[in-house]
Amino acid sequence: MFEFIEGSIVEKTPAFIIIQCGGIAYYINTSLFTYSGLPKEENLRLYIHEVIREDSHTLYGFFTRIEREIFRQLISVSGIGANTARMILSSLTPNEVSEAIQDGNVAILQGIKGIGGKTAQRIIIDLKDKIGKAGNIDDLFITESNTIRNESLSALIALGFMRKHAEKIVGNLLTKQSGLSVEEVVKQALKLL
């Protein structure tokens, strides 16, 4: 699995970008949100999600990790494929998608081409607890300034555990046993979750 591709832009359109990296050019599908956020310079970094099927290996690129995470959440919903998720992220910003899911706003999702009422409801039902409160999606990612507590929480959330439950367990573990490493906290939390 690729994390990101960094290289020079060979071709750029609202639907795809071709990036040359190390003598190889990659065709990467993008959303309009990513396209609109691309810098003017010729070099860039795109966060990648690869879809592997019997007949193809398709790359989807995102300007931010937040957009890629929402894309991954969307394709986890039954009936939502990669192209539909890309259409959603071309119609709405990642924050708007997150807010629509949290607010249960079927009308906003239904306004996207190819999304009917039942599909919009399924997205909301399946993702309401996974996406968390609007704005908390940033917490999924590890930064250098995170503490052991935050890194442990990020790992547990990435593994699919509910944020509130993971916070409680990690908080209790660190209160009882200070000086634990991130690995020790996650291992002990997995036993309790």
pLDDT for position 143: 39
Q: What separation in angstroms does the CA of 130 have from each of 25, 70, 138?
A: 35, 10, 13
Task: Read off the tokens for 52.
Answer: 């592997």
Task: Read off the tokens for 182.
Answer: 């991130």
First to last CA, the chain: 27
Of the listed ranges 42-46, 55-59, 82-86, 105-109, the least confidently predicted one is 42-46
pLDDT for position 132: 57
Quickly name the fold that domain 4-62 has.
Answer: OB fold (Dihydrolipoamide Acetyltransferase, E2P) (2.40.50)
Average pLDDT, the chain: 85
pTM of the model: 0.68
CATH 1.10.150.20 given to domain 65-132: yes
Q: What percent of the chain has pLDDT over 90?
A: 48
pLDDT for position 145: 31
* CATH 2.40.50.140-classified regions of the chain: 4-62
- Helix ranges (DSSP H) in 1-147: 32-37, 65-75, 82-91, 94-103, 106-110, 117-131
- Is the pLDDT reported for residue 156 higher than 70? yes
Mean pLDDT on 75-102:
92
- pLDDT-based confidence at 91, cuts 50/70/90? very high
- Is the pLDDT reported for residue 82 higher than 90? yes
Mind listing the pLDDT tens digit for each residue in 110-126?
989 889 999 999 999 99
Mean pLDDT on 96-121:
91
pLDDT for position 189: 84
pLDDT for position 155: 78
CATH 1.10.8.10 given to domain 142-192: yes
Q: What separation in angstroms does the CA of 135 have from each of 98, 121, 138, 180?
A: 8, 21, 6, 29
